Amino acid sequence: MDIRNEIPARDIERYFSKALEFSVSARSLILSLLTSGFEVKRKPDNSFVTSADLRVEEYLRELIRRHFPDHGILGEEYPPTNPDAPFQWIMDPIDGTEDFVQRLPTFGSILALHYRGEPVVGLLDHPALDMRVSAAYGLGAYHNGRHVALTDLDPAALDGTERVMLPARANFIKYRDDGRLFDALVRAHPNHRIYRSCFTHACAVTGQADAAVDYGNPIWDFAASRILIEEAGGKFVLVREWNVPSLGRVYGSVMGKPALVDRLVDEFGAR
């Protein structure tokens, strides 16, 4: 039995509605900060963090505390709140901060609600692209409010022309030496695109890409993706998991149309 069936349907609808409200408010704040300006700093790992990342996470945390005081919160920029609570809101206020700093429009905001480790609600929002994908358990997946239903590929017709989105090679060598895995994926799928994780996930949900690979990222980077893909009729598989002392658990995942996901998972298993 799926543990998420313990949650009354009306509660899932309420959580979904509130998550959409939170996302709309966060988008407005992000766009205003793009206009008014923000401070940029470097983290110890040399990645970017901005005053906008901090302010948006603070804002979302306050909204969640106000409406769901018994729920936990896990975000990239601040320590966890109520870590033992059954319901956990997981967020990355601005995913692709380097793109945000450079005013590239592919940055996004990630928000998810998990129940005892299982995803219930997920949203990926791209304010500069006016693109939001959203889903909730049993309620379907949506792109800017329109229902999304993926059509699978014929496994016998997979020939390398499929549209696969990948992270940069840097993701495969940042925490472990898996550069050869990236090279093998690129050779096997020459019709690939390289973008930041949040945007690639959104494209897989909508079918703009046939599959997306993510690698070397913590849970907040893909917390929304499994529920989004599954509710759209696709497949999500974790293919790698390891510990980084300065960060905690990081993961590799594949998501998208089931036939191509199965092929990619096999390719991961062969390396």
Per-residue pLDDT for 111 more than 80?
yes
Q: Which string of DSSP letters, residue by residue, matches 186-247?
A: HHH--SEEE--HHHHHHHHHHTSSSEEEEEEE-GGGTTTHHHHHHHTT-EEEEEEEEEETTT
CA distance 191 to 181: 17
pLDDT tens digits for range 168-203: 999 999 999 999 999 999 999 999 999 977 999 999
pLDDT tens digits for range 211-231: 999 999 999 999 999 999 999
Region 155-269: CATH code: 3.40.190.80
Poorest-pLDDT segment among 5-19, 37-51, 110-124:
37-51
Q: What is the pLDDT of residue 186?
A: 95
pLDDT tens digits for range 19-29: 999 999 999 99
Q: What is the pLDDT of residue 246?
A: 81
Sequence ranges of the domains in the chain = 3-148, 155-269
Query: Do residues 112 and 223 touch, judged by C-beta distance below 8 A?
Result: yes
Which single residue is written with the structure tokens 């925490």? Answer: 175
Q: What is the pLDDT of residue 196?
A: 78
Query: Do residues 71 and 88 touch, judged by C-beta distance below 8 A?
Result: yes
Query: What average pLDDT is seen over the chain?
Result: 95
Please tell me if the domain spanning 3-148 has the same topology as the one spanning 155-269.
no
Count of beta carbons in the 10 Å neighbourhood of residue 73: 22
3-148 has CATH 3.20.20.70 classification: no
